Amino acid sequence: MEKEFDVIVIGAGISGLTAAALLAKRGLSVAVLERNIQPGGSCSAFRRNGFTFDLGAAMLFGFGERGYNPHRFVMNEIEEALDVYCHEAMYRLHFGDHKVIFWPEKEHFFAELHRLFPNSIGDLEQLYRHLEELYDAIITSNSAFLSPTETPQRELLANLLKHPLSQFRLLRLLRKSAKDLMHRWVKDPAICRFFNKLTSTYTYTTIDETPALLVATMFVENHVGRSYYPAGSPMMLAAKLEKAIEKFGGVMRYEETVTRILVADGRASGVETASGNRIMARDIIFSGTVWNLYRQLLPREIMPKGLLEKVEALIPTFPSSVLVGVVDASAVPPDAHPVEMFVGNPDAIDESDVTLYLSSIEDPSLTQPGAHVFMLVGPSATPWPSPWSEDYQSRTYREMKDAETERMLALVERYFPGFRTGVHFSELGSPATVERYLLKNWGAVAGPKQCMGQELLHRQPATTFLPGLFACGESTVMGTGTPAVTISGISAADVVLRSRGMPEYRNRPAKKQYVRIIPRGERGNLPRSPVFYPAALCQWCEGAPCARVCPAGIDIRGILRRLEADNIEGARKRLQETSVSPSACAHCEGRPCLVACTRNGFDNAPVPIPNLLIASETAL
C-alpha cells in the first residue's frame, strides 16, 4: 500500500464513501480505511444460507427526481447507475387500534388521518400547508447540497437576497421546537401524541425535543420525493460509491483499523493503524462519531479547552436492538407493507415500539421462494455489557440476547398473529453488537440526538479545530439519515476542495439520470455481463474460508462482492494486488476454494469462484 495520499478517509460509511468518491473524481489521491470487511456501515448487509439481511438502513430517502435528493445528485456526479424500488407508501403505522398508511398522495394520506382525527382534519391540513411552505424555503430555495456551516458567505447572502422572506422565516425557526411550531395549528392533545411518535421514528426525539427546522423536511419529503430501497440491499449504494472511488483511482483498504491521527507542525498529517502502518496525507476526513474522534484518536493535550467536556455532555439516541431473520411467507399478512411500525406506548418513546422491515416484499433477490427476510429495530432499555468487556459473549449475555429476541418477536405477534411460529431463523444484534461492529457508542444507532440544544449549528461542522482534519457523518451538522450523512460527505469534500482552490460541487442540471426506479419484483443492480451473475451467490463470509485456503492469497470475497456490483475494474485491480500470478486460478491444482466454499453446506454446490476470477482478468 502507498504510504502517502492527498486525502485519507477514516471509515467506509455512506458519508465517508461519498466524500472519497467526489474527491477522487476531482483527481485527488484518496485512501479509505475501514476496520470491517466491507463498505457501508449501517447501510450494509450480510448473508446466511442464501438469504440477504439488512444491517440498519432499510428505508431511504433522497433518490427522487424532486425534493430532497442528495443521493440522486451524487449518483449523477459519479456517473454510476443504481436501481431502486420506490415504496408504494412510506410505511404503515399501527397506532393503538388504528392503522395509518402514509401514502405519498396527500389526499389519500389525509383520508387516513380523517379516520383517526375526524374533528381536527382542518387543523392538520393547515399545518401541512405551513410545513410545505417551510419545505420550499428549506429545500427549493437552496441550490447547493451543503450543510449551512460549510456554505460560503457569498452564497448565503445571495440566497438571502433572492428569497428574503423564506430566509427570515427560517431564521425565526432556529430556536423553536416542533411542538412550538405545531401549537399554532393544532390544539388536540391526541394529535400531539401522534406526531410525537412520528418524530421519534425519524430522529429518535419527541416533538418537544425535535427542532422545528427538521419537521418540515421530515413530514413533507414523503409527499414530494418519496421513500426507496436499493435493489439487492442498501449495500448496493455503498458498493456503487466504492466502485466510483476505485474507478477514479482511489484505494479501499478493509480490516485496517485507525488507532491514532498523527499531528505535525500544528496540523493533521496522517494516521497510524493497528497493523503498524503509518500512512500520511495532507488532509484527513473522519466519518465516525465525535466521541470516538475526540476520546480515542487525538492527543488530549492539543484539544481546545472545554471541547472534550462538551463532547462528553452530548446526549446519545436510544440504544437499539436489531433482529434479523427468515419467516415463512404464510406468516406475513398479504396486505403487509415493506415497512410496518408498531407503537406500543402512544405517550412515550420506549422499548414497546418496534419497526418491522420486510424488504423482500419488493426485492426477490434477498430471499428464497416461500419465505421473507425481516429486520426488527427498536429501543432497548436493557443494561447491556460493553462489547470490550469479559461479559461480552458470556452465557449470561447469550441468555439476554435470547430474551430480547423473544421480547421483540412478541411485539410483532400482537399485530401479526402467527408471525413468531413462522420464524425459521433469527439473529439478534444487541446494542453491544451495534457498538462492536459499527463503533456506535452504547449502541446508539443515530449518534448524538438531533434535539434542541445539540441540533444543526450546535453540532460538529465539517471543519475541526485542527487544520487538515475534517468530519462527516451523523455526529455532524446534518445529523442522522442517509440523505443527511450524504450531504455531510459532500460538505466535507467541498471544504477540502475549497482549501486547495479546486472546483467544488454544486447542484446543477444533470446530462443523464443514473438512478432508475424499477417495479416491485424485478431484480435490479445486476452486472452488465451475465457472466458475473453467479458472483451474487457469494455469502460474504466473515472468515472467508475460500481465501484462507487459496494458495495465491486471493481476496476472493472482496473480488466477488465487487463483481456482483458491476465493479469489474475494481475486482481486477484487487485480483492483481493479491494474486501471486495473474493467471493463478487457471493453473491452480485441486481448486481448494471450491471445497471450502460455505455454499456447499446448504446448496450442495459451491460458487464458481475460478470461473469468475478468470473472467474478471479478461473482462476489461
Which residues make beta-bridge pairs with 320? 379
pLDDT digits (tens, 9 = 90+) for 130-148: 888 888 877 776 667 888 8
Average pLDDT of 349-369? 94
Q: Amino acid identity, residue 37? A: I
Average pLDDT of 170-191? 83
Question: What pLDDT is attached to residue 154?
Answer: 80
The lowest-confidence range among 28-37, 89-98, 163-172, 246-255 is 163-172
40 — pLDDT class (breaks 50, 70, 90): very high
Q: Amino acid identity, residue 45? A: A
Model confidence at 1: pLDDT above 60: no
Most confident of 117-131, 331-345, 578-592: 331-345
Average pLDDT of 127-131? 90
Model confidence at 224: pLDDT above 90: yes
Q: Which domains are assigned to the chain?
A: 4-84+231-314+446-499 (3.50.50.60), 90-142+160-221 (1.10.405), 320-443 (no CATH), 530-618 (1.10.1060.10)
Ramachandran area for residue 402 (φ above 0: left; ψ -120 to 50: alpha; else beta) = alpha
| Residue 599: closest CA among 588, 610, 586, 608 | 608
450 touches 211 (CB < 8 A):
yes
Question: What pLDDT is attached to residue 582?
Answer: 58
More confident residue, 347 or 127: 127
How are strands ordered across the β-sheet holding 82-86? 228-230, 82-86, 515-518
Model confidence at 170: pLDDT above 80: no
At residue 171, what are phi and psi to the nearest 5 degrees? -60, -35
Question: What pLDDT is attached to residue 161?
Answer: 66
At residue 312, what are phi and psi to the nearest 5 degrees? -65, -25
Provide the sign of the torsion angle of the four alpha carbons 491, 492, 496, 497, taken in this order: negative
Q: Amino acid identity, residue 566? A: D
Question: What pLDDT is attached to residue 584?
Answer: 77
390 — pLDDT class (breaks 50, 70, 90): very high
Model confidence at 355: pLDDT above 70: yes
- Beta strand 45-48 with 92-95 is unpaired
DSSP structure string for 303-357: SPTTHHHHHHTPPBPPBEEEEEEEEEGGGS-TT--SEEEEES-TTS-STT-EEEE
Ramachandran area for residue 511 (φ above 0: left; ψ -120 to 50: alpha; else beta) = alpha
8 touches 468 (CB < 8 A):
no
Q: Amino acid identity, residue 568? A: I
Model confidence at 19: pLDDT above 90: yes
pLDDT digits (tens, 9 = 90+) for 536-559: 999 999 999 999 999 988 999 999
* Residue 142 grid coordinates: 437552496
Q: Rounded to whole angstroms, how far apart are CA atoms 291 and 35?
A: 17
More confident residue, 600 or 152: 600
Three-state SS at 92:
strand
pLDDT digits (tens, 9 = 90+) for 512-538: 999 999 999 999 999 999 999 999 999
Question: What pLDDT is attached to residue 562?
Answer: 97
Mean of pLDDT over the chain: 92
Q: Rounded to whole angstroms, how far apart are CA atoms 119 and 190?
A: 11
pLDDT digits (tens, 9 = 90+) for 290-307: 999 999 999 999 999 999
Please indicate, yes or no, whether the overall pTM of this predicted structure exceeds 0.75: yes
For helices 609-618 and 568-578, the axis angle rounded to 10 degrees is: 110
Question: What pLDDT is attached to residue 184?
Answer: 83
Average pLDDT of 85-107? 93
CA angle 280/461/213 to nearest 5° reads 155
* Residue 457 grid coordinates: 449549528
| Residue 245: closest CA among 12, 55, 84, 448 | 12
Question: What pLDDT is attached to residue 166?
Answer: 66
pLDDT digits (tens, 9 = 90+) for 461-485: 999 999 999 999 999 999 889 999 9
Question: What pLDDT is attached to residue 141?
Answer: 66
At residue 184, what are phi and psi to the nearest 5 degrees? -65, -30
Number of H helices, E strands in the chain: 21, 19
Question: What pLDDT is attached to residue 146?
Answer: 87
Q: Rounded to whole angstroms, how far apart are CA atoms 368 and 569?
A: 30
Residue 3 neighbours by CB distance under 10 Å? 11
User: In terms of C-beta density within 10 A (0-12 exposed, 13-18 middle, 19 or more buried), how is residue 276 classed?
Assistant: exposed
DSSP structure string for 261-288: EEEETTEEEEEEETTS-EEEEEEEEE-S
Query: What residue spans of 374-481 are helical by DSSP H?
Result: 395-415, 431-438
Question: What pLDDT is attached to residue 580?
Answer: 66
Average pLDDT of 607-611? 95
Model confidence at 506: pLDDT above 60: yes
Provide the sign of the torsion angle of the four alpha carbons 337, 339, 340, 346, taken in this order: negative
Question: What pLDDT is attached to residue 190?
Answer: 86
155 — pLDDT class (breaks 50, 70, 90): confident
The lowest-confidence range among 97-106, 131-140, 159-168, 308-317 is 159-168
Q: Amino acid identity, residue 54? A: D
Question: What pLDDT is attached to residue 348?
Answer: 72
The residue length of the chain stands at 620
Percent of the chain topping pLDDT 90: 71
Question: What pLDDT is attached to residue 111?
Answer: 94
2 — pLDDT class (breaks 50, 70, 90): low
Average pLDDT of 106-118? 92
Quick one: the chain helix, strand, coil %, rounded to 5? 40, 20, 40
Q: How far is CA 436 from CA 38, 392, 465, in A?
A: 15, 10, 28
321 — pLDDT class (breaks 50, 70, 90): very high
| Residue 208: closest CA among 216, 200, 217 | 200
Average pLDDT of 342-355? 84
